[in-house]
Structure 1
Amino acid sequence: MAPEVVGFGEDDVRALAGTRSFERGLGYLDAVSGLEVGEGSVTAVVHGTDVYEVQLTLGGDGLSGWCDCPYGQEGNFCKHCVAVGLTVLRRAKTIPHQRAAARARTSGLEAWLSALSRDELLALVREQVAEDRELRRRLELRAAAARSDLGTVRERIMVLIDPRPFARYGYVEYADAAGYGRQVAEAAAALRALTTDGQAAQAVGLAEEAIRVLGKDYGDIDDSDGVVGQAAAAVAEAHLEACRVARPDPKRLAEWLAGTVLDDSNDVTDLDPLDYADVLGSSGLARMRQLANEAFRSGPSGWAARYLMERLVKAEGEVDALVALHAQDLDPSGATHLLIAEELESAGRADEALAWAERGLRDCATETYIDGRLVDYVCVRYAKAGRAADAVAVRRDRFRHERSLAAYRQLRSAARAADCWEAERAAALATLEEDARREQGGRYGGPVLIDALLDDGDLDAAWREAAGRADDRQWERLADLSREMCPAEALGVYLRLVERSKEPTGDRAYEHLARLLLGARECHRALGTEDPFTAYLAGLRTELKRRRKLMTILDRYGL
């Protein structure tokens, strides 16, 4: 019933969040408060490491979520969004009533405002302006723009982008960055309003001044969450919008753009000169190409000069010139070889593209790290050309250098396609066995050999190799895969890991402990010894009873 009433279901939440965030969100169901249901959205507060605001929206494209936690601000459907979504589903029966109440409140507010006289509305606005400084600043800007008071507009925008009121000892700390970012966003809105009000030329000049100030001060801001950078990007967008309306002198605009891009100290805005191509026209682009050539000749290794040259050459469609430019600075990982190959392939020159990719493999053959996308590029094209054995040779060579589970999987896939996995597997496992003897562990501490055997489903061999070698992660994986066929052995692993997991605290640790106990319970059920598990669990709960959050999580899992 819930999906029909609410507009989404648990499967939708899981699909948006992914398994990891979904499972972590389960631990925050008791941390949701202040749930407010609107006609097409839900807002709430989630108490985690900090207090986070969450908004879920149900529109024509389905469910979406926003959260002001760092992960959520990157555009992800985070664990806090999961917690709010599941809370809504739990309260599905009350949603229609709450939506109706929200519609009634909105309708009532509209009716009340419409009934107010001009003097009453003015009094209301003055009251709000007196209480809300941000609202007052926004209205002051709009008023100044409406009466063409550009001096006041400039003054207010400069005040908004001035970081000094937020700086402690000359530095804007993480806790103050969000407040400063909101002010910069206000400045961007004011610049857009200028353009809308017929003063685009003035908006161009003010935006350029604002971008210069932001670039100068950005290095003294802890913008870990990117809120200031996002607001500065809005200022840059306002500049572009104003340029498209005002159509400033193309050569002067080209000089400003080139100067801003080439200024290494200005990394707050990612200006792409080609976004301005329609405004620059042929004369502006020619002037920018001239400036880019001069900068590149004087400092060819500079990132900014190279970026500007690459963008301009690419826009002109000169593939050979772009290849030559890239070839002057080949990255030892093979990333530049891949870039060249992709440019050539896009131009319909597939044979040359593959030759460059193969050259990348040769040039980087002795490197410990090589860009995996380059290896994939070559192997995919070998497979399409019926060169399965060549693809295996490439994967084999990379496996010898990387010795990772990912490289093992890629070798396995290529060798199966070439019908030679049995021989390749024997050689690969021998290599990993030698590494294990030399105590060369995997990424998480245990030998890659055990990861490979588990990935192959060779549990008998994995059990033989695990003794004295496997890390806790590998033991848990082995127990998970073996509990149906070998419940007694798996139970021993789970109980050992439970003992090691009793000390750590926090939601993540408690969720992990609960999963281990679920595995142990499954083993006892398979062995027909559920009573000893019940007694063991009761003792564990008594031992850890002061950890109330753990008790809540165990209750949720039926433990």
Structure 2
Amino acid sequence: MTHALGCTEEDLRRLAGARSFERGLGYLAAVSRLEIGDEAITATVDGTDAYEVELTEDEDSGLTGWCDCPYGREGNFCKHCVAVGLAVLRQAESVPQQRSAAASRTRLLDGWLESRTREELLALVREQLSDDRDLRRRLELRAAAAGEDTGIVRERVLSLLDTRPFARYGYVEYADAHAYGRQAAEAVTALRALTADGRSADAVEVAREALRALGRTYGEIDDSDGLIGDVATRLAEAHLDACRTARPDPVETAEWLVRYLLSEVNDATDIDLFDYREILGEPGLARARALVVAAWRANPKGWAEKYLMERLLKADGDSVDALVEVHAADLAPNGHTHLVIARELEAAGRPGEALEWAERGLRETASEWGPDSNLVAFVCERYERADRLADVVAVRRNLLRARPSLAAYQHLRTAAGAAGTWQSVERTGALEVLKAVAQPKKGRWYDGSLLVDALMDDNDLQPAWQAATDGCADERQWLALADRIRDRRPADALSVYLRWIEPLRKQTGDSTYERLAELLLSARACQRTLGTEAEFATYLAALRADQKRKRKLMAILDQHGL
């Protein structure tokens, strides 16, 4: 049945999703300050922070919810909205009366305010300002924006962006970032008010200072939710809108823009030089081009200089050769830049030159991690299209020799398989490469060998077992081998399981106990195949007697029927 809220618990579940709905059930007791108005329902829900929630209903869209928690600000019907909806449904019978009462209060308040004199209303506002610091601050800012003294607005805007009141240890932590973001957002309101009041030129200047101020401190804020980044974007939009109205000097504007975009304070915003195309006109764009080219030639490896130069060339439709020149001035050691160049050339209809650059990238790779995997794929795909399968094999073979890995072995196997040379030629050489590095290497994430991994990947289990027996396997590999041979060679697999059970007898912890149970189950399966279950029963009884003080282990063994 649909309640006075206009929805049911099932509707809340549908809006929020099963997970958020279930979590919302746990927040029902955290709902406070619930107020059912004639148009909206508001409440506070105590979670990681005290979150403000608003539910509204519309004939077309139905129930919608807003919450200032991180998930809610992304437009989701969050667990806090669910909690408020559930709280309202718990008192559904009284909702119509509460709404009617709210509407009556609104009409009464409107009528009373309209009957007050100007002096009485001023007195009322002043009374509220003395008790509500946030309201006072907002109105002070609006008054300054409507006044003549731009200095007051500038000072107030910069104070709103000052992180010091929120930085406990010189850094605005996550818990304080939301409050700072709400305050900083008022700076955007002030700038837009300046423009709306016919003072767009002032808004341009103040916005520039605001962007620099926020950019200088952005790195000292935990902006995990992106709230401050959103404020920075809105500041940039306010600056752009003010420029559209004020029409500042195009050359001076170009100079400011390029300086700003090349500076470190630009990290917080996403300003695009060409969003200002209309404002700059040809004189401003010409000046911007000259400054960008000069900056890039002075520092061709600078990220900002390189990005702006690339953006300039693409926007102006310059030749691909100019773009190649920009990228070629700073080639990445792993060949990624060669790949960027190759893709630009291929898109320009020059596939031969594209492949030459990609091949050059493979030759010139100087990274200890080898060439960019996408670069390798690019070259190999072009070779395959041209039916140059032997060249694909050569690339994959060289990579395996230079930096042996299971992935490199697999890629070579695939390439040589397509060329028909894997079993006849390439596999023997590839395994020789892996044998040369078969002994454990210090610093690897496990102590096994690539040789065992490759042989198991080939499902060549007898050579893999022999390599492991020769000392080239770690626990992971031994157990993987045991699992693979258990049905055909149960005695060998059993010896592996029993060997790795022993060290676990001296360890504690839930994960250890689960691992021990898993190995015992594998050992029992082997002895069933061998027909020696009685031996396993004796072994298990002795283990339980030895480990009987570990009550959690005993419980886990019982759960697994051991």
Give per-residue Cα distances to partners, 1:309-358, cap 9 Å, x unaligned.
Answer: 22211222221111112222222221211111111122222222111111
Moved more, 139-148 or 290-299: 139-148
Look at both structures and tell me which one has the larger radius of gyration over its CA atoms. 2
Letter in 1 for 2:370: Y
Cα deviation digits, residues 229-253 of structure 1 (max 9, x gap): 5543443344345545655443333
1:233/1:105 Cα in 2 relative to 1: closer, same or farther (>3 Å)? farther
Q: Which residue of the partner structure matches residue 16 of structure 1?
A: none
The correspondence for 2:454, drawn from 452, 455, 471, is: 452
- Once the two structures are superposed, what CA deviation does each residue of 1:259-284 show, in whole Å capped at 9, x if it has no partner? 11222465443533234345434333
Q: 2:508 aligns with which of 482, 488, 502?
A: 502
1:333-348 superposed matches below 5 A: 333-348=334-349
Which shifted more, 325-334 or 519-528?
519-528
Matches within 5 A, 1:63-212: 113-115=102-104, 116=106, 117-118=109-110, 137=137, 141=141, 153-167=153-167, 172=172, 179-188=179-188, 191=191, 202-212=202-212
TM-score by length of 2: 0.68
- Say whether the 8 Å CA contact 1:405–1:448 is kept in structure 2: yes
Shift in Å at residue 160 of structure 1?
A: 1.7
CA contact (8 A) 1:200 1:246 kept: yes
Unaligned stretches of 5+ in structure 2?
1-8, 32-39, 54-60, 62-66, 114-120
Partner of 1:424: 426
CA displacement at 1:477 relative to structure 2:
5.0
Secondary structure of 1:436's partner?
A: coil
Provide TM-score, normalisation by structure 1.
0.68
- The CA RMSD measured in Å over matched residues stands at 5.7
SS in 2 for 1:431: helix
Q: What amino acid does structure 2 have at the position aligned with 1:325?
A: V
Deviation of residue 197 (structure 1)?
7.6
Letter in 2 for 1:118: D
Does the CA-based 8 Å contact 1:494-1:519 persist in structure 2? no
Task: Map residues 279-298 of structure 1 onto 2, 5 A cutoff.
Answer: 279-298=279-298
Amino acid at match of 1:339: V
Q: In 2, distance between residues paired with 1:429 and 1:203?
A: 70
Structure 2 CA distance for partners of 1:331 and 1:500, relative to 1, 3 Å: farther
- 1:213 maps to 2:213: yes
Moved more, 464-473 or 336-345: 464-473
CA distance in 1, matches of 2:171, 2:339: 41
What is the alpha-carbon distance in structure 2 between the residues aligned to residue 324 and residue 266 of structure 1? 25
Structure 1 residues 250 and 554 mapped into 2: Cα distance closer, same or farther (>3 Å)? farther
Q: Could you tell me how far apart the structure 2 residues matched to 1:251 and 1:105 are?
A: 65
- Partners of 1:427 and 1:484 in 2: CA distance: 31
* Cα distance, 1:397–1:208 mapped onto 2, change above 3 Å: same
Q: CA 1:46–1:458 in structure 2 vs 1: closer, same or farther (change >3 Å)?
A: farther
Does the aligned pair in 2 maintain the 1:154–1:206 contact within 8 Å? Answer: yes
Return the alpha-carbon distance in structure 2 between the equivalents of residues 392 and 378 of structure 1: 11
Q: Give the Cα–Cα distance (whole angstroms) in 2 for the partners of residues 484 and 98 of structure 1.
A: 59
- Alignment-mate amino acid for residue 427 of structure 1: G
In the TM superposition, what are the counterparts of 1:286-325 in structure 2 within 5 Å?
286-318=286-318, 319-325=320-326
Distance 1:439 1:171, change over 3 A: closer
- Partner SS for 1:332: coil
Tell me the residue number matched to 2:5: none
Could you say if the C-alpha distance between residues 152 and 310 of structure 1 is closer, same or farther in structure 2, counting changes exceeding 3 Å? Answer: same
Q: Which amino acid aligns with 1:327?
A: A
Out of 433, 436, 444, which is 2:435 matched to?
Answer: 433
Any gaps of 5 or more consecutive residues in structure 1?
A: 14-28, 61-65, 504-509
Cα offset, 1:409, TM superposition: 2.8
Matched-pair contact (CA < 8 Å) for 2:334–2:366: no
The separation in 1 between residues aligned to 2:296 and 2:363, in whole angstroms, is 29
From 28, 34, 46, give the equivalent of 2:27. 34
Q: Are the structure 2 counterparts of residues 380 and 197 from structure 1 closer, same or farther at C-alpha, using a change threshold of 3 Å?
A: farther
Checking the alignment, whether the CA contact within 8 Å between 2:455 and 2:464 is kept in structure 1 is yes
- Report the secondary structure of 1:414's partner residue: helix
Q: In the alignment, which residue of structure 2 is the partner of 1:523?
A: 522
Kindly tell me: are residues 489 and 254 of structure 1, through their superposed partners in 2, closer, same or farther at Cα, counting changes over 3 Å?
farther
Deviation for aligned residue 1:424:
2.6
Query: Structure 2 CA distance, aligned partners of 1:3 and 1:513?
Result: 42
Would the aligned equivalents of 1:161 and 1:210 in 2 still touch at CA under 8 Å?
yes
Query: Which residue identity is paired with 1:159?
Result: S
The residue that corresponds to 1:255 in the other structure is: 255
Distance 1:541 1:217, change over 3 A: farther
Q: Aligned pair in 2 of structure 1 residues 406, 145: CA closer, same or farther (>3 Å)?
A: farther
Give 1:387 deviation, angstroms. Answer: 1.8
Q: 1:469 to 1:52 in 2, by over 3 A?
A: farther
User: In structure 2, how many angstroms separate the alpha carbons of the residues matched to 1:150 and 1:514?
Assistant: 71
Alpha-carbon spacing, 1:375–1:32, altered in 2? closer, same or farther (3 Å): farther
My pick for the range that moved more, 105-114 or 260-269, is 105-114
| Contact 2:300/2:326 (8 A) holds in 1 | no
Which residue of structure 2 aligns with residue 330 of structure 1? 331
Letter in 2 for 1:434: A
User: Is the 8 Å Cα contact of residues 505 and 547 (structure 2) preserved in structure 1?
Assistant: no
Aligned 8 A contact 1:334 1:364 in 2: yes
Paired amino acid for 1:403: P
Distance 1:444 1:321, change over 3 A: same
Q: Distance in 2 between matches of 1:471 and 1:128?
A: 73
Does the aligned pair in 2 maintain the 1:479–1:494 contact within 8 Å? no
Q: Give the match's secondary structure for 2:370.
A: coil
Distance 2:45 2:559 in 1: 22
Specify whether residues 469 and 274 from structure 1 end up closer, same or farther in structure 2 by C-alpha distance, changes over 3 A only: farther
Matches of 1:497 and 1:126, distance apart in 2: 77
Partner of 1:274: 274
Answer yes or no: is the 8 Å Cα contact 1:192–1:238 preserved in 2. Answer: yes
Deviations 1:472-518 (A, max 9, x none): 55456556666677573564476467558736xxxxxx6x5576367
Find the residue that maps to 1:437 and give its secondary structure. coil
Cα shift readout 1:380-433 (whole Å, capped 9, x = no counterpart): 221222222211211211122221233223223322332333343332222122
Q: CA deviation at 1:68?
A: 8.2
Q: How far does residue 216 in structure 1 lie from its aligned partner after superposition? A: 3.0
1:384 maps to which residue?
Answer: 385
d(CA) in 1 for partners of 2:558, 2:91: 34
